[in-house]
A and B are shown apart, each in its own frame.
Chain A
């Protein structure tokens, strides 16, 4: 199959890539754009390590062919925040111990930020449901729930 050219807007920057239409968005991000923050855990839509936002919707980038993402607005963990300017959920994960090995963390952060955007004050049941597409093998999820709650209250206090 011949290469086609696609244009993506990732974390606010426009990128053009020439690749196969069925190439996974995950691979394009990781290998073509060298945005390796987004991880692969299963490659089949189960673990959520590859979660990104596509036009504001939470998707598993391992299931999205790049052709489908052409022209789309993509947000990855790198776009949430960096060092001095951490996003409120990044800071909360750091302070609550929400990241252990860190492998589920990028996807979990994107999902958590998305959850808080849709619902500024989710209760515990809503947090559990909002993150049920993101598997973590290290934390047992407790610190992650706590982190989301902390991010929620610090946003409410206007710190975020």
Chain B
């Protein structure tokens, strides 16, 4: 670490100039000759049988292209893990806003009227609108028991610990749905001809997910389906699954009409119809000794998965593995279930189940501390995972992690101890405003869970252009996080050439190999490593050709690459994923190396609670993390700050209001995200410990910052008010409601 010239430096965003000039082309900026505009007719009820469709008067229906489920050439399915998510509802609907019928017309202004004129008559069936109703099978709406997936993760002998405990502390923690609210809505354009097959351009994260889904839905040969990502205006997981749906809809209209078709949602449709973060309910029962040693835990996780299983099983898996937090549990049992309800399917959202679990454990740790009369930091210090100890899955910590130090640094940066004492003293006399400070400690696994990376079998490549520029060929996409810049930095550093002499290949399935999806904080660590090896291969070829000597300049590289291409036609190098040594995972028992590496963090929040309005403001926020080597400090800091802001939104502002399964506040006017005036100073610090198996020591960053803010803020609110809140989002009315009732007795059993 330290000798590198490009890695670790704040290189400017590759596509930055295009973005600040307004030249970057997003899906709605594109148009094609003869293009039609598509729109979707959706279900207004949550569950029922479709009886008939009528086309109302006053619309020139003969000018419209109309597609129903019967027009689907292949499988009526959006290919995910299971096969239950239809592309268009055929006979039944299982959630409000489920797509039933598609329309296309050259005049986009006619579409809203046409959509409103289609009347779908339905027989309404009883629906399930909560985890509890789903649990009671009241009624059964999916499979035999409403359960998409369940896991049991067990270590030690939990049943034996209860009699050994001085205290048993119980708690229940819930979290709500969260809308991604990327500023660019979902959109896609499809073009089809029998000769060239199907091409779909879209705002998306995972070109090969869409490819796989559309091959299945169209029945076309793999090489006849081409997916191209265009500039994508934010995603956060929300463009992992849904682009396969909107892409399929555009494709069906294009195939039926023979014309290019664009579908771009407006904000109301995007918010109402697309996926959101899974709501959760987590129950903890913990055995502790008087002096704060954690003996054992029984944890029960329930996720609301919505109407179709989509990615719920993998979200649940990550929630399960992160349930115990960054602590050593000699005995632990986690039972988890993802339930079906009749809400629009919940999907991937930054953190992918971990924020839900970590909110619960980090609120629960503060409860335990209070019950025992031990300071929250001291309780954590006594139980932190350390090198040599094993996680809940039996994974031995081999990274040189020092959580005690990380926590110490975060608390010092926030002036925690001093403020903790001062606020408590000043709050006693305060009438109008009370202040509090709280924190959360957590971890986040980088990359796919368990054997996931092995199954993905990712392939990255590099080649050179005819001008002699090196080109990174991956299916990893840029949607603001910095993929383009980071991967070019790695390639340039490895090749020993200027950053400007490296460019990204187009994110087009007909050009780049399948490097796996752009999710799970895997791009820097996993894909970065592959790009590094591909760059090493490229350089070796050039050195072996004797066109290039060691220690070449950028100009020499460009010359040599150009000559090589002129002589041989092409210069290309590939690299396939290999698991780091000693990584074993048992999918049945949930034992082993759950992740190749973890990122670790401690976040501290300082809040003010207004005693009249019950409004909470976050006044200061400190984020200290260990994410391996930081490849680009400016981009990494931006990732952390953005994630913290989303976490603040999830904790204090963002509430999805449901009305019989339909989102009632699907507008930016009434679904509130933090503005420039709501965000505190976010102070970001990195502890750098290069990870041996990541590119230049990198681990994952992207999702980590979503995990910490909610528990840190609620711990701070407890400090300010002396009352315990165990649910997010926590809006003023929620605080008011709870302040109006007497504090319930906490469930503590003294043995």
Contacts and interface: CB of A to CB of B under 8 A. Distances in A.
A155 interface: no
Contact of B19 (A30, A102, A144): A102
Given A139-B641, A142-B682, A86 B20 contact: yes
Contacts of A53: none
Interface string B16-27: 111111111110
Interface stretch (B68-76, B93-101, B181-189, B280-288): B181-189
A143 interface: yes
B642 interface: yes
A32 to B, nearest CB: 12
B20 A90 contact: yes
Contacts of A140: 638, 641-646, 679, 682
14 contacts: A42-B267, A43-B266, A78-B22, A80-B21, A82-B23, A91-B20, A97-B13, A100-B234, A101-B182, A102-B19, A136-B183, A136-B676, A139-B638, A140-B679
Interface in B16-74: 16-26, 28-29, 31
B667 interface: yes
Contact of B676 (A43, A49, A132): A132
Chain B binding surface SS class: loop
Interface string A124-144: 000111011011111111111
A102 B233 contact: yes
Contacts of B644: 140
B567 interface: no
B20 A39 contact: no
B449 interface: no
A93 B634 CA distance: 12
Interface string B635-665: 1011001111110000000000000000000
B28 A40 contact: yes
B645 A101 contact: no
Contacts of B638: 97, 100, 138-140, 142-143
Contact of A101 (B20, B22, B479): B479
Nearest to A94: B16
B444 to A, nearest CB: 18
A36 interface: yes
B84 interface: no
A157 to B, nearest CB: 20
Contacts of B24: 102
Give chain B's interface residue range (CB within 8 Å of chain A). Answer: 35 or more
A94 B12 contact: yes
A103 B230 CA distance: 13
Contacts of B234: 100-101, 103, 137-138
A144 to B, nearest CB: 7
B676 A100 contact: no
A71 interface: no
Nearest 3 interchain pairs by C-beta: A37-B22, A103-B233, A101-B480
Contacts of A61: none
Nearest to A92: B20
A2 B19 CA distance: 37
Contacts of B681: 142
B483 to A, nearest CB: 11
Contacts of A49: 183
A90 B21 contact: yes
Contacts of B646: 137, 140
Contacts of B637: 97, 142-143
B21 A41 contact: no
Nearest to B28: A40
B647 to A, nearest CB: 9
Interface of A: 30-31, 35-44, 46-47, 49, 76-78, 80-83, 86, 90-91, 93-97, 99-106, 109, 127-129, 131-132, 134-145
A49 B293 CA distance: 52
A23 to B, nearest CB: 9
B673 interface: yes
A141 B645 contact: yes
B152 interface: no
Nearest to A131: B676
A77 to B, nearest CB: 4
Nearest to A31: B31
Given A37-B22, A137-B234, A44 B668 contact: yes
A76 B22 contact: yes
B624 to A, nearest CB: 16
Nearest to B705: A140
- Most chain A CB inside 10 Å of its own CB: which residue of B16, B19, B183, B677: B183
B25 A100 contact: no
Given A41-B183, A82-B21, A139-B638, 9 more contacts: A47-B668, A94-B12, A101-B182, A102-B20, A102-B24, A136-B676, A141-B641, A142-B641, A142-B679
A11 to B, nearest CB: 11
B20 A109 contact: yes
B266 A137 contact: no
A101 B232 contact: yes
B304 interface: no
B459 to A, nearest CB: 27
- Most chain B CB inside 10 Å of its own CB: which residue of A95, A140, A144: A140
A68 to B, nearest CB: 19
Contacts of A35: 22
Contacts of B673: 135, 137
Contact of A138 (B23, B185, B480, B676): B480
A87 B674 CA distance: 28
A80 B23 CA distance: 12
A44 B667 contact: yes
A94 B13 contact: yes
Contacts of A78: 21-23
B675 interface: yes
A35 B342 CA distance: 42
